[in-house]
Amino acid sequence: RTPPVTLAAIVGCPELHPLISTHFLSAQPPINTLALPDLSKIYLFERKPKDSNAEVPPPPPTVVGGVLKKDWLLKHRTKVPAVLGAVFRAEHVFGDPAQWLNVCLGLFVCRAVIRGRNIKLAVVIIHTGADEITEDRMIALRKRADVDAKYVIMLNPNDNSDLNQSLDRMANAFYGLATMYYREEGRRIKQRIEKKNVSSVELIVRYCFKVAVYAEFRSDWPEALKFYEEGYHTLREIVGVTTRLPAIQRLVEIKYVSEQLNFKICTLLLHSGKVTESVAWFRQHKNAYKRLVGTPEAIFLHWDWMSRQYLVFGELLETSSKTAQIFPPITLGSASKPLSEWEFHPAYYYQLAAHYLGQKRSSLELVISTTETSSDTDSVDSVVPSTYVGQFARILELGDNVDMMALTDEEYMRYAVSEGRRFRDSLEIIALLRKAYESFNSSNIQRMAALCGFQMGKEYFSEGDSSNAKQIFDSIASLYRKEGWITLLWDVLGFLRECSRKSSNVKDFVEYSLEMAALPISSDANLQRDTGPAGPASRIQRETVHKEVFDLVMEDSVSETNEQLNNLKINGDKPLQLQVDLVSPLRLAMIALVAFHEQTMKPGSLTSISVSLLSHLPCTVEIDQLEIQFNQPSCNFFVSNAQKPQSVGVTDTQQHRVETSTSLLLEPNKWLRLTYDITSDQSGKLECQSVIAKIGPHFRICCRAESPASLDSLPIWTLDDCMQSVPIKDSVLVLSGQKIIQVEEPEPQVDVRLGAFGPALVGEIFLVPVTVISKGHNVYSGELKINLVDVRGGGLFSPRENEPHALDSHHVQLLGISGPEGEDDSHLDSDKIKQVQQSFGLISVPFLKNGDSWSCKLEIKWHRPKPIMLYVSLGYTPTNNESNPQMVHVHKNLQIEGQNAIELNHHFLMPFRRDPLILSKNKQASESNISQSLPLNQKTLLIVSAKNCTELPIRLKSISIEADNDVERTCSNQHGNEELSNPALVAPGREFKKVFSVSSDKNISKLVLGTVCLTWRRDLGVEEQSASTTGTLPWVVTKQKLPDMNVELPPLIVNLECPPYAILGDPFTYYIRILNQTPLLQEIKYTLADAQSFVLSGYHNDTVYVLPKSELILSYKLVPLASGLQQLPRFSMTSVRYSAAYQPSSSSNSVFVFPSKPHFKNEASTNFRLESVANE
């Protein structure tokens, strides 16, 4: 099958032959070598004098024996070389005359031998380097050999590098000679074709073939292709023209030859990568010969031949696609006859090969059955293929002579039939189909593969190989099931059923039979004829199958009457139980829906359960007994058929309840609905698991229970147009019925109380007392679970995303659980579970007798004001029964508000009527946020006020300012951090103020003031006094950082001075001091506005200069004209240098005018110390 390879021969020097031939084989292009040890063997190449085909000048047409000689190609591939290489040793060539004569003689012999065949000659001289090379000898040698100088090759086996080169040279020379030889031969034969004087068409075909082969020898593929095609077309012309052979054999020969040519053409096309052309060619070939059927009795030969065509082409395509990975191009074939992509799948050809082989088999069987060829095998024995391709002849042995005698058609047919008998076509067909099946499957073409599988299964089945057949049928049945191809499925199941019958597999037999009987086939028409063992798919057939299988399972004793079933037995030893689960195809045969009428039930109470059964079997089935199984075995119960009381199994029904139903008839396509009461004592999930139907003594179908709500439609029946009835009458249950019911816990008889009062305050540890009081149940292995949940939901316990600066990861934290009073924690920890996490706690409750109580306290701390929901759930078992722990749960919840207890505020005050000019203030005036600045070296008052924003009174222990540890102290504050001597009570809504004075003497831009620390606790009112020794709540420290301040040196400070009060009509002096703190002269423009209530003396407007580091005092005399709180004349000034205007605030710019001189009591002011400090 490989393309032919150039053949060369070498003679002489046998020790070098392996070296040369291996090198030639690996050369590019390779050359096959015939190695002859010496000249005596050279006569093999000599042309025989008597050669009937080519030598004898044009024989009469009848003499042409056939189209192609079978061994012609073989001869050229293995026997007739294109080149003869005569190898001589150098010492012989250039040695003494005797040796030289020997060489000449050898050459002469060679030339004589090869002349008849035009074989080319080349001379190889083995030159070991020892001898002299004389030029005249070389010339003489060339002359003797009649070769060109380049075909005399020197070879030096001792020199490695040189040897390789010269071997290459030798291969090239040989190849060139061979090409020349093949070209000449080809041209010689081509001339014969062109001369047109060829007597018969057969010879043209033969010549074309030869030319093509010669072209192949020299790798001239296009030429080879051209002549193969020409030969092929010429051959087509022969059909119907030639009468050389008897009709059948003639056709056989033509087909054989065309096969050969077609094979060559396809191979060449595929090798050159022209897949599409090759496929198109093959199609044309197949179409051309498809109708050449021949005589009817020999038709099997035609099918055989067709099958072989497909097989061979499929194999060619497969190998080429494996090596080349060529994908079919987009434009397939010509426009008029497009190729489909399937013609590029080898599997397609295998499938068709199998198909034709099947046809061959059937027609062969027909021939065998009609022709009664009894015992003339001896005449067949001596028939062998003759010398021509596609011809057969009988060998006649006459003594030593062997002669070929042509056959008559009759004899040939006998031979062919007997040959055909020898082969087991089924195996061949199965092999072909398996190839196709696997190939289709590997390219994921399921349905084609299924068809191949089906055919393969049929072959196996007819061969009697049940297990293989079953395996294949099973795999393809699932595809048909999935896609709902009922008729195909029916057929496959029919085969499967027979397979299981043959292998005596009762279970499979029953399963397949039930599935078949339940298939939705309603047509009564008896259409198909070529059906499998199942018979035609019809309703009647379904009923037949149904009856057969139920006869089998219902019979008590094995029937001897039924011949078919006598190897299938069901009895007490081998009871049969079929499992029907959610994916089983037997759901068609029986499906069980179970629905509880309630979703939950109390333990011990009754509820209803509906069991619905549906069968698509064609006949009514009577069920002897139903068993309904639950996950709680105590709930299992039986339903027995009232009409068959004797058949109820009495083995284990004593423990279980048995219901009786009037009839358990399962009619086709109608729901059998049963409703029963059910109760359960065990809390938890009660789930119906399966419904087992007993039919007959030894047959049970176990259906997995399904919920109506989750009922997926039966895949096949829903596609059919049939009436769907509802499984349960209650339409709500149809949609929502579940096979699971939740059995509730018994009513808890234990109380859990949460005794929290009021809102919780941020920062304090809030105690929630929990009390467990038993009111009827003993509490065993109790467990208290505590959960904190954000009321608003979400975001409570993972605030990091929202507030990256949160100090704690939890806004509300469960700190701990303190046990009941008198019981210390260490004891609790040792043997009881106690787990506390941030928002979750678990604590075990000790055993409590009925009436006892137990309590603990939850410690919860709020970091942010936030309402939370506290969930407390107690789980316990009322009885100390280890085996059956029935947990009872009590749930309580409580919403607790978290509030900020205290709001801290602060502000700064400058000394009274003393205003520094702070430049940064002016600069930032335009901007919105003004960060406060403090003047340098000036005492500033800081007032911290703590406001109680709860509804509870709060005790305040101290307010202090603490410096941050890590920051250098930058300011001094006085009026200390001492504790209040007696904790102050702050009523709801009231404020507590404390005054600090701050001064900074360092010229730095930022002043870190520190943190306000507030120590407080919730005031318990009267209880506080009573429990003052031990039970007071711990103090809570609230801290708030004060903002950093800017400090700067004010260039100017304005001080307004006037007496604390004035008296009507009494003049007083109003001083305005302007202090220049800079080393520069300051120009000040000032204005003093008139005031209604005062008469004043002095400049209203002026421009003054204040000397560096000195103070300017402006003094005015004022006479009050009205009494009461009066506004002083308004002073305003502008610093020219800083272009900053200054206006003192109006609030500090007033004085109280008494109508007459007042009289003060001296001790009055001491009561309100705090206020007076502020006022000063």
Which residues would be at the binding site for another protein (CB under 8 A)?
Answer: 328, 330, 338, 340-343, 348, 352, 355, 445-448, 450-451, 454, 480, 483-488, 491, 527-531, 718-721
Burial tier of 1097 (Cβ tally within 10 Å: 0-12, 13-18, 19+): exposed
**Nearest to another protein of 263, 348 (CB atom):** 348
CB of 439 to another protein, least distance (A): 13
Query: Six-digit token pair at 284?
Result: 């044309």
| SS3 annotation, 305-335 | HHHHHHHHHHHHHHHHHHHHCCCCCCCCECC
Query: Whose Cβ is closer to another protein: residue 291's or residue 1157's?
Result: 291
Burial of 1023 per CB tally in 10 Å (0-12, 13-18, 19+): exposed
337 vs 1117, beta carbon nearer another protein: 337
Rank residues 427 and 527 by Cβ distance to another protein and give the closer one.
527
Nearest to 152 by CA among 131, 136, 174, 134: 174
- Residue 989's CB: how many other CB atoms inside 10 A? 10
Degrees to nearest 5, angle at CA 336 with 333 and 341: 35
b/e code 859-885 from CB counts within 10 Å (16+ = b):
bbbbbbbbbbbbbbebbbbbeeeeeee
Q: Which is nearer to another protein, 337 or 792 (CB)?
A: 337
What is the residue whose two structure tokens read 């092999």?
A: 431
Show the DSSP H helices in 55-158 as ranges: 72-78, 90-93, 97-115, 135-145
Q: How far is the CB of 359 from another protein (least distance, A)?
A: 9
Peptide bond into 29 cis (omega under 30): yes
| Burial of 1028 per CB tally in 10 Å (0-12, 13-18, 19+) | exposed
Nearer Cβ to another protein (79/337): 337
CB of 351 to another protein, least distance (A): 9
Could you tell me the end-to-end alpha-carbon distance of the chain, in angstroms, rounded to an integer? 124
Residue placing its CB nearer to another protein in the complex, 485 or 847: 485
Nearest distance from C-beta of residue 520 to another protein, angstroms: 9
In angstroms, give the least distance from the CB of 472 to another protein. Answer: 15
The least CB distance from residue 67 to another protein, in Å, is 29
CB of 484 vs another protein, minimal distance in Å: 4
Task: For the CB of residue 362, give the shortest distance to another protein in the complex, in Å.
Answer: 14
- For the chain, state the CA radius of gyration: 59
How far apart are alpha carbons 235 and 242 in whole angstroms?
10
What's the Cα-to-Cα distance from 1037 to each of 35, 510, 946, rounded to whole Å? 113, 84, 13
> Please, is 135 exposed, middle or buried when counting C-beta atoms within 10 Å of its C-beta (0-12, 13-18, 19+)?
exposed
Nearer residue to another protein within complex by CB, 396 or 719: 719
Element (H, E) at 1082: strand 1082-1088
Contacts 24+ apart (CB under 8 A), 179-183: 179/6, 179/218, 180/120, 181/82, 181/83, 181/118, 181/119, 181/120, 182/6, 182/82, 182/214, 182/215, 182/217, 182/218, 183/214, 183/218
Q: Which residues contact 256 (CB under 8 A, 6 or more apart)?
A: 389, 390
Q: Which helix (H) or strand (E) holds 350?
A: helix 346-370
Q: Quote the crossing angle between the two packed helices 466-483 and 446-463, to the nearest 10°.
A: 150
Find the shortest distance in angstroms from Cβ 285 to another protein.
Answer: 15
| 583/807 with CB nearer another protein | 583
| Residue placing its CB nearer to another protein in the complex, 720 or 751 | 720
Nearer residue to another protein within complex by CB, 325 or 1166? 325
Say if residues 729 and 716 touch (Cβ distance below 8 Å): no
Question: Given the complex with another protein, which of 448 and 1153 has the nearer CB atom?
Answer: 448
Q: Which residues contact 783 (CB under 8 A, 6 or more apart)?
A: 833, 842, 843, 844, 845, 874, 875, 876
Nearest-angstrom CA–CA distance, 561 and 36: 80
3-state SS, residue 5 = coil
By C-alpha distance, which of 1163, 938, 884 is closest to 1051? 938
Strands 1061-1063 and 1150-1154, bridge-based pairing? parallel
- Give the amino acid at 936: L
For the chain, give me the number of helices (H) and strands (E)?
25, 55
Residue 206 or residue 435: which is nearer to another protein going by CB?
435
When the beta carbons of 330 and 1164 are compared against another protein, the nearer one is: 330
- Identify which of residues 360 and 694 has a Cβ nearer to another protein in the complex: 360
